[in-house]
Each structure stands twice: as structure tokens, then as C-alpha cells.
Amino acid sequence: MQQLPFDKRSGKIWFNNELCEWQDARVHIISHGMHYASLVFEGLRVYNKKIFKLEEHIERLFNSARILDMKIPYSNQEIIEATKKLISDQNIIDGYIRPFAWRGSEMMGVSAQNTKINVAIAIWDWPTYFDPTLKLKGIKLNISKWQRPPQNSSPWQSKAAGLYMICTLSKHQAEKEGYTDSLMLDHEGNIAEATSANIFFKDKNNELHTPIPDSFLDGITRKTVIDLAKSKNIKINERKISPDELSNFVGCFITGTAAEITPVGNILDNNFEVCDLIKDLSSNYELLVGKNN
């Protein structure tokens, strides 16, 4: 079934402190955010009308804006309340929320000191990210030719639009080759993350290994899963992981707001089992967020 294009949908969007009709939420084509990627955003999930980790996501939105030298003209609480109102008004049961802020069209050029900072919040129904059958057997990853840039080459601690260009390129190539997603390495050639999700590996001793988030986002879902694992006395090893180690692991999964906990069946020729530990963590995560309650 073909998805309805986003510019043809209906409903309301919170746009600069006003509710407007979905199709009337327009931005001029000469906008700094569009031309120079001066835009930050968040992604949140709604489960049974409840927003998971709302405060944490909005705090990260404001932190991303500060890193990009953007001052959001609203308080954290105003954005939180606006998000809650949208959920209530739109009667979204299971969905996705996209708050974002960007520089407007007052100036065009690399320097944009006097541009207005615009803010919008959009929500839509979204019950699942990956095909449920893929989650049962595990998704397939290739390894991208694009690497996460070093810390002094990008605002890597922000959730900024420009940082996702190489993610789109990586995922497109993966899909063309018959994979679901792509594993990205860091600038040193160590494992970093998938295109929009953090990654974990399980060894033969039922310990988990995950890359140190020193050139990519330390995801909110990632931190939630680490807390879940620790509550079950599962040892977590945060460390540098070489691609040469892939054959040593018996399990693998990715984590993210959209991906939740999604098992990985293979990375290139390295096969992984969708084991009980991963299934148990996934079930506990779904209970925590209130999915299917």
C-alpha cells in the first residue's frame, strides 16, 4: 500500500506558537534551514496516547539548538505543553512526533546571525518502523563506505539535519543491495551505529558490547536499554569495537525511537541469532513504553 505523501496529509501542525492546517504549513524556498542545513529536530513515539521520554527529548532539542548557535524563542515547557496539546487534539493513539527548529529566510549566505528561528511540531500515526516479520528474523545490514566524522569536524552531539546526509546515502545504497540498513564506522574505522539507531552485540557469555558514543548521539533509547540490561544483571561493555570482531558475537540488535529494539540477523557474511536475551529485552522495553497495553 502506497504511503500518502506528507504534504497531502490532514490535521494540525504547531507552527511558531499557532495551530495551522497541515497543508498550510509552508516555508519559503529561500530558507537558511533548507540551503545550509541549519535545522535541529527530535523524534518521539506515542504509545496508547502516552509520549515516551517527552522531557528528555525536548531537552535534547534545546541542547542541539545551542550547539548550532540557535536560540529557540520558546521555553522547554512551552514546547512540552504544545506537544501534549497536539496529541490530545489529533487523537493520535500510536504515532510519531517531529519537533524541529530552523533558521528562516531573512538572510541567505553562510552567515545567518539575523535569521528568525522558526519552530514547528508535527505528529502522525506510525504503529511500527520495520516490517514486523523482519523483527522476528532480524534485519540485514551492510557496512557503509561513509564514516562518522571526527569530533572536531562536526557538531556530533546535536541531532542536526546536516549530519543525516551520509545516513540517507548509506541507507539508499544498502536498500539497493538488498539490505535493510547500513552499519556505519567512525573515523578510526571502528563500529559506530546504524544510519539512525545505536547498536549492541551479545557475546557467548551473555554480555553486551556497544560502541562508546564519542562521535555519534548517545541515544535516549540506547540509555534506556542499558538501564534495562543492568536491572537484569546483564554486563554492559562500552568500548571501541572493530569490525574484525563481528564474527565473535552471537547476537546483535539496534535501538532507537523508531527502531525500538530490532534484532539484526546478519551484517554482511556475519550471522546472528535472535536469542532469548534480545527477545526478553525487547519485551521489557515494550512494557516500559506501554506498547500494546
Measured distance CA(64)–CA(40) in Å, rounded: 6
Q: How many other CB atoms are found less than 10 A from the CB of residue 225?
A: 26
Two domains, one topology: 9-125 and 132-289: no
Please give the class, per CATH, of domain 9-125: alpha beta
- Residue by residue, pLDDT tens for the chain (293 residues) are 457 899 999 999 999 999 999 999 999 999 999 999 999 999 999 999 999 999 999 999 999 999 999 999 999 999 999 999 999 999 899 999 999 999 999 999 999 999 999 999 999 998 676 777 777 889 999 999 999 999 999 999 999 999 999 999 999 999 999 999 999 999 999 999 999 999 999 999 999 999 999 999 999 999 999 999 999 999 999 999 999 999 999 999 999 999 999 999 999 999 999 999 999 999 999 999 988 66
Active centre residues (catalytic): 159
**pTM exceeds 0.85, yes or no:** yes
The residue extents of the domains of the chain are 9-125, 132-289
Fold held by 132-289: D-amino Acid Aminotransferase; Chain A, domain 2 (3.20.10)
